[in-house]
């Protein structure tokens, strides 16, 4: 059938930003991607990335993105300021701010660039695990709305069952391995890859065997994939693995990798998380 536009995917609605002047964009939070407090941090990071992608001065594709969540983001409109601070021959550096009611709610830096053909090698090895058809889909509690927008199938380290959280034991490590993709399925792009890099629940939940107050303070995503790599993934599941390094004094860090089913390392991420308890 022709002449009829396909409905907008919920993810594209959630990260939609429009330029209102040279370096400023307007956006709005989306209830479909709500988290325990405020919006899902991955969709906020994706909106910041999309702000650069839409800029007419943008050079190349994303190489890295760091988002610092400086304060709570309320439901409603927000503004993003995106400014290129330096453009070199093959890379470009950006500063971004997300504001609500005159207060800064998030800051970010991004590096975009042109990828060149060079020597390459891969030292990480994709985990060998059963396929997504053999993994059980994760069902999130109602207060984690964003989880319903992903098909998450855990091979190991699933989210603790909130109904029995008082009685389940602590876990000896913080490793989760899972298959994931957008739900409904959506072709992979850099914005979606950004959000998926934050789709790993706080590692302290797994170690302690229960939900605790926790939230990301800072998230960095490194993009190893080219646009061609992403196009080759289509709507297939990605394989993700995340773990923490150290817990203490109210904070921990966790790192993650996202792989294509063909063994291509698409992105790695690192984040700092606060927790209570």
User: What's the token pair of residue 17?
Assistant: 């930003």
- In tens, the pLDDT along 58-110 reads 999 999 999 999 999 999 999 999 999 999 999 999 999 999 999 999 999 99
> Which pLDDT belongs to residue 5?
63
Encode 173-197: b = buried (16+ Cβ within 10 Å), e = exposed: ebebbbbbbbeeebebbbbbbbbbb
> Which pLDDT belongs to residue 165?
47
- In tens, the pLDDT along 142-169 reads 888 999 999 999 999 998 876 654 556 8
Which residues sit opposite 150 in a β-bridge?
Answer: 182
- In tens, the pLDDT along 3-44 reads 456 689 999 999 999 999 989 999 999 999 999 889 999 999
Distance separating alpha carbons of residues 180 and 245, to the nearest angstrom: 23
Mean pLDDT of 228-239: 97
End-to-end CA distance of the chain: 56
- In tens, the pLDDT along 192-217 reads 999 999 999 999 999 999 889 999 99
Distance separating alpha carbons of residues 62 and 46, to the nearest angstrom: 11
> Which pLDDT belongs to residue 99?
98
Return the domain boundaries, the chain.
10-114+130-275
> Which pLDDT belongs to residue 4?
54
User: What's the token pair of residue 265?
Assistant: 């390392």
- Helix, strand, coil share (%) of the chain residues, nearest 5: 20, 40, 45
pTM for the model stands at 0.95
Q: Is-contact 116 91, C-beta < 8 A?
A: no
> Which pLDDT belongs to residue 3?
43
Q: Using CB atoms within 10 A of its CB, is residue 86 exposed (0-12), middle (13-18) or buried (19+)?
A: exposed
Angstrom CA distances, 16 to 47, 48, 215, 259, stand at 7, 10, 24, 26
> Which pLDDT belongs to residue 54?
96
Instruction: Give the start-end residues of each E strand in 32-170.
Output: 61-68, 77-87, 91-100, 103-113, 136-137, 150-156
Angstrom CA distances, 27 to 18, 36, 44, 103, 106, stand at 7, 21, 10, 15, 14
Superfamily name with CATH number, domain 10-114+130-275: Acyl-CoA thioesterase, double hotdog domain (2.40.160.210)
Q: Is-contact 100 78, C-beta < 8 A?
A: yes
Alpha helices per DSSP H over 90-138? none
């Amino acid at each position: 059938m022709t002449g009829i536009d396909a409905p907008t995917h919920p993810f594209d609605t959630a990260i939609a930003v429009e330029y209102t002047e040279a370096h400023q964009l307007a956006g709005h939070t989306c209830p479909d991607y709500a988290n325990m407090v405020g919006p899902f941090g991955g969709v906020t990071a994706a909106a910041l990335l999309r702000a650069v992608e839409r800029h007419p001065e943008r050079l190349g594709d994303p190489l890295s993105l760091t988002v610092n969540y400086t304060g709570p983001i309320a439901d409603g409109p927000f503004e993003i300021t995106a400014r290129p601070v330096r453009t070199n021959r093959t890379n470009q550096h950006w500063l971004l701010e997300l504001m609500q009611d005159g207060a800064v709610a998030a800051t970010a830096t991004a590096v975009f660039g042109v990828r060149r053909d060079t020597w390459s090698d891969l030292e990480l090895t994709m985990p060998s695990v059963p396929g997504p058809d053999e993994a059980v889909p994760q069902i999130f509690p109602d207060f984690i709305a964003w989880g319903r927008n992903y098909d998450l199938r855990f091979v190991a380290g699933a989210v603790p069952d909130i109904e029995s959280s008082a009685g389940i034991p602590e876990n000896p490590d913080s490793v989760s391995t899972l298959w994931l993709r957008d739900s409904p399925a959506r072709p992979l792009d850099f914005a979606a890859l950004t959000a998926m890099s934050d789709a790993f629940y706080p590692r302290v939940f797994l170690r302690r065997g229960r939900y605790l107050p926790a939230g990301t303070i800072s998230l960095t995503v490194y993009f190893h994939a080219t646009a061609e790599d992403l196009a080759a993934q289509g709507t297939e599941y990605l394989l993700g693995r995340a773990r923490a390094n150290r817990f203490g004094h109210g904070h921990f860090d966790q790192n993650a990798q996202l792989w294509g089913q063909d063994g291509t390392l698409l992105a790695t991420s690192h984040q700092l998380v606060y927790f209570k308890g």
